Amino acid sequence: MKDPGKTKSIVLYVDDIQANLVLFEASFSDFFEVKLAESAKKALEILEAEEVHVLVSDQNMPGMTGNELLQIVTRDYPDVMRFMITAYTDYDTVVDAINKGNLYGYFNKPYNVEEVKHAIERSMEVRHLRIRNREMIEKLARANELLVGLDRSKTKFLGSITDEIRTPINKIMTAVHMIKDKIDSKELSELLYMLDVSVGRLENFSEVARQLVRLNDAGFEPEKAPVSLRELLEVSIIETGSLINQEEVSVEFSDSVSDQEVEGEYDLLLLTLTSLMGYIVGHIHSISRINLGLNEENGKISLEVNVDGEFNRESEKDALMKLRDGEVAGAEDEFSIEIVLMREIMRIHGGDFNFSGKPEANVFAMQFSRN
């Protein structure tokens, strides 16, 4: 939108008498950008093809009267400020136009140039305010939609946390009650392991929640530095070693794991990998091996985690498959809190988190763009 305070207002004058057109242009061309039309039909052609701020139309014209033209303009070009000009006082026509909202004002011939000039200038101020108000309302509506969406996301997120935390808490309570009745050392050892794993998952979810809040803070930017992917993989295995060993899962590094670097915040990327390991152990059963590798193609480097075994729920796998196909809508409810975190971390690093279910393995990939 042009700023009326910096550029000339564009005024279209419509009259079937050529002398009146010449006179109007001579009177107002120093103040406004004047466009002329000798008929209502010509005026509509100009309105369709060019920008017009103000329309001043004669009433008595052959083919289509000024009032009829104003009705069309009101419907099709509501931001155009509309004036009628008549050779005599036609109160019925003017009142009808005003009642239908077709007019901002009217003038009688012969008109006073200064009065017309001031009336057009005032109408432009009103037009400018109307458009600004509408834009503000639209922005508020969009902001409200975002807030509503954010509230829904918060509700889903908090619900996910509640569901995830409830399971380890129940296990802890069950284990505590069972410890009171059991004295066998083997059984006690297993119960203590249940407690250890459950408390560990509670701690992990607490860290995930803290990081998600941090990532969604306005203006958050990761503290990027060169990160060795080889080191990242090795440290993540150390961090999750007790969990992996308890499940008797073997971890292998493929030959493709060289010392390559990406730009990122080390702690966040490490959290992504440790959360992924926890997700794999918690959501896939009958795992015998985890293979870690790197793959580079199409200007991207992917850190890949290949896992055998079957998902506890097929719907989880189906939801993850939609990440690869870009059909995330409708699948969010199936994503665990770890997946939400991993996707968010990769997003702020300008990368992707993807999954593919191959016949021989489930492949989770953290994809980075090459700088």
Q: In terms of DSSP H, where are the helices of the chain?
A: 18-28, 40-49, 66-76, 91-99, 113-181, 185-215, 229-239, 241-246, 266-283, 314-325, 337-348
- What pLDDT is recorded for position 206? 65
Q: Is residue 225 domain-shared with residue 107, that is, in the same domain?
A: no
Among 61, 78, 111, the domain-final residue is 111
pLDDT of residue 4: 42
| Residue bearing the bigger pLDDT, 25 or 197 | 25
**d(C-alpha 192, C-alpha 281), whole Å:** 18
Average pLDDT, integer, range 211-218: 69
Torsion of CA 17, 23, 24, 28, to 10 degrees: 170
Q: Both 356 and 226 in a single domain?
A: yes
Q: List Cβ neighbours of 127 (8 Å cut-off, separation of 6 or more).
A: 4, 53, 54, 79, 81
Which whole number is the average pLDDT over 297-320?
A: 84
Q: To 5 degrees, how large is the angle CA 214–CA 217–CA 223?
A: 60
CA dihedral sign, ordered 304, 305, 310, 316: negative
Note the pLDDT tens digit of each residue in 99-144.
Answer: 665 788 888 888 899 999 999 998 888 888 778 777 776 766 665 5
User: Is 139 among the domain residues?
Assistant: no
- Which of 142-146, 154-158, 199-203 shows the lowest mean pLDDT across its residues? 154-158
Task: Provide the CATH number for the domain around residue 65.
Answer: 3.40.50.2300
User: Using an 8 Å Cβ cutoff, are 307 and 360 in contact?
Assistant: no
* Nearest CA among 43, 42, 36 for reference residue 20: 36
Q: Which two tokens stand for residue 63?
A: 């083919």
| Torsion angle defined by CA atoms of residues 108, 113, 115 and 117, in that order, rounded to the nearest 10 degrees | 120
Q: Is 352 found in the same domain as 228?
A: yes
Q: Are residues 239 and 107 in the same domain?
A: no
Mean pLDDT is lowest, of 16-25, 319-328, 336-345, 362-371, for: 319-328
Contact between 13 and 37 under an 8 Å Cβ cutoff? The reply is: yes
pLDDT > 90? residue 49: yes
Task: Please compute the mean of the pLDDT values over residues 290-305 and round it to a whole number.
Answer: 85
In 3D, which of 65, 66, 62 has the Cα closest to residue 82?
66
CATH number of residue 263's parent domain: 3.30.565.10
pLDDT range class, residue 13, cuts 50, 70, 90: very high
β-pairing, 289-297 with 300-307? antiparallel
Q: Residues in the chain, how many? A: 371
Q: In which residue are the tokens 């289509």 written?
A: 64
Domain-embedded: residue 85: yes
Residue 173 lies in a domain: no
Average of per-residue pLDDT across 242-252: 78
* Number of domains comprising the chain: 2
Is 126 domain-assigned?
no
Of residues 253 and 79, the one with the higher pLDDT is 79
- Highest mean pLDDT: which range of 21-35, 231-245, 258-272: 21-35
- End residue of a domain, out of 111, 146, 176: 111
Query: Structural domain of residue 27, as residue ranges?
Result: 10-111
